[in-house]
Amino acid sequence: MEVSVIIPCLNEEETIGACINKALTSFEVLGLEAEVIVVDNGSQDNSTEIAQKSGAKVIHQQAKGYGNAYLKGFSQAKGKFIIMADGDDTYNLLEIKPFIDKLREGYDFVIGSRFKGKILPGGMPWLNRYIGNPILTGFLNLFFQAHISDAHCGFRAITKDALERINLKAGGMEFASEMIIDVLREKLKIAQVPITYHPRKGRSKLKPISDAWRHMRFMLLYSPTYLFLLPGGFLFGLGLLVLLLLLFGSFSFAGHRFDVHAMVLASFSAILGFQILNLGLYSKTYAHLWGFQRQSSIEKFYKVFKLEKGIILGLSLFCLGFLVGVHIFYQWFKTGFGALNVLRLALFALTFMVIGIQTIFSSFFLSLMGLQRRKLD
């Protein structure tokens, strides 16, 4: 069998029949050996009965969610090529030919673009069209260099071979983002085709705010560089720079004088930034260990990293701060434990002792993760 069309369905009795009929018409016109699979996700109306009478194979997915419905459908699909479309008739299944042509040309994944095609009046709410979709697509392109114009278009196609190479798990709406991210990580060939987006009948199942957050949350979790490493590196670098600049006295910048109060914030920034950097390293290692993201940078890191090196570095930083602390205590002792104006040195000592301790314990944790890495390898 060459093509399987998978349609998730939740209370779509007004439109599911039309979707199936269009798909079957395309099969006949194009001379395809194909099937239509409708994945019912708990419909309370007559959707399943209509789908069966229209000629589709109906399967049921008890676990709620857009992604769960597709994962169930994928497991039952027999086609070499898999077409994905919603059951609300917003995507015209008479237009599957460009998708199949691209797959036959050797592309692994094909996604429709409503923005390069045509959005009919009433097809997409203003908020989604001009704010939600462009912003989420922009973030996906920024984080993963996707170069896609409509990342959340539900009209898609993928080869069975490509589907077996990616590791789809998301059960909700974030499944749409996960699919693109996994395709990109496997370096599969991607094509875009312009489509026409039609108004839907009935009430939309989308929840704009919560669905947008699910997409954004998923992208951030899959992109530790942007979630942890960049903000952590900025905070750590800025904090350390200001801390060192203020160590021996105040300085002026852009017409403002910065003194010991700024040094307190710099110490906080350096410590916080260093902790966030460590979290980024943990998350990249975890993603690498469990196959979410194979990263050569982690392989290179573990070729250089040794527990002993981490301990030595941490102890060195701690001892630097501790020696400064001893010097402060000695000065305090010499004054008979009276008033002492050495807050700058104290902040420097505190910062380096804390970062040193963080380095030692982070080294142990990374070493444990490294042991797990070797077991999995």
Residues near 248 by beta carbon (within 8 Å), at least 6 away in sequence: 344
Whole-number pLDDT of residue 356: 97
Q: Model confidence over 327-344: pLDDT tens digits?
A: 999 888 888 887 777 889
Whole-number pLDDT of residue 355: 97
Domain range holding 51? 3-221
Whole-number pLDDT of residue 284: 84
- Position 222 confidence tier, pLDDT thresholds 50, 70, 90: confident
Q: Model confidence over 112-121: pLDDT tens digits?
A: 999 999 999 9
Question: Which alpha helices (DSSP H) does 191-306 contain, by range?
Answer: 208-221, 224, 230-245, 260-289, 296-304
- Give me the phi and psi of 279, to 5 degrees please: -60, -40
Question: Is 215's pLDDT higher than 90?
Answer: no
- Last residue of a domain, which of 190, 221, 252? 221
CA-nearest of 8, 176, 12, 26 to 93 is: 26
* Predicted TM-score (pTM) of this structure: 0.77
Question: Is 18's pLDDT higher than 80?
Answer: yes
Q: Are residues 162 and 139 both part of a single domain?
A: yes
Percentage of the chain modeled with pLDDT above 90 = 67
Question: Is 376's pLDDT higher than 50?
Answer: no
- Position 167 confidence tier, pLDDT thresholds 50, 70, 90: confident
Instruction: Give the pLDDT mean for 228-234.
Output: 95
Q: Are residues 229 and 134 both part of a single domain?
A: no
Which helix (H) or strand (E) segment holds residue 76: the answer is helix 66-76
Q: Which residue has the tokens 């203003």?
A: 126
The conformation of residue 226, written as its DSSP 8-state character, comes to I
- Last residue of a domain, which of 166, 187, 221? 221
Number of structural domains, the chain? 2
Q: Are residues 190 and 273 both part of a single domain?
A: no
Instruction: Give the pLDDT mean for 184-212.
Output: 86
Q: Are residues 97 and 61 both part of a single domain?
A: yes
Tell me which amino acid residue 137 is.
T
In angstroms, rounded to a whole number, what is the distance separating the alpha carbons of residues 376 and 297?
A: 18
Percentage of the chain modeled with pLDDT above 70 = 95
Q: Are residues 344 and 260 both part of a single domain?
A: yes
The conformation of residue 91, written as its DSSP 8-state character, comes to B
Tell how strand 34-40 and strand 190-197 pair up. unpaired
Question: Is 314's pLDDT higher than 90?
Answer: yes
Q: Are residues 130 and 237 both part of a single domain?
A: no
Q: Are residues 69 and 194 both part of a single domain?
A: yes
- Position 205 confidence tier, pLDDT thresholds 50, 70, 90: low
Q: Are residues 161 and 213 both part of a single domain?
A: yes
CA-nearest of 228, 249, 219, 201 to 348 is: 249
Q: Are residues 253 and 365 both part of a single domain?
A: yes
113, 149 contact by CB (below 8 A): yes
Instruction: Give the pLDDT mean for 55-65.
Output: 94
Q: Are residues 141 and 87 both part of a single domain?
A: yes
Q: Model confidence over 68-114: pLDDT tens digits?
A: 999 999 999 999 999 999 999 999 999 999 999 999 999 999 999 99
Q: Model confidence over 129-148: pLDDT tens digits?
A: 899 899 999 999 999 889 99
Instruction: Give the pLDDT mean for 184-189.
Output: 91
- Last residue of a domain, which of 221, 256, 271? 221
Q: Are residues 123 and 251 both part of a single domain?
A: no
In angstroms, rounded to a whole number, what is the distance separating the alpha carbons of residues 342 and 348?
A: 10
Q: Model confidence over 243-297: pLDDT tens digits?
A: 999 998 888 888 888 888 999 999 999 999 999 999 998 888 887 776 656 666 7
- Give me the phi and psi of 158, to 5 degrees please: -150, 150
In angstroms, rounded to a whole number, what is the distance separating the alpha carbons of residues 103 and 298?
A: 34
Q: What CATH number does the domain containing 89 carry?
A: 3.90.550.10
CA-nearest of 246, 266, 269 to 257 is: 246
Question: Is 151's pLDDT higher than 80?
Answer: yes
Q: Are residues 45 and 193 both part of a single domain?
A: yes
The conformation of residue 113, written as its DSSP 8-state character, comes to E
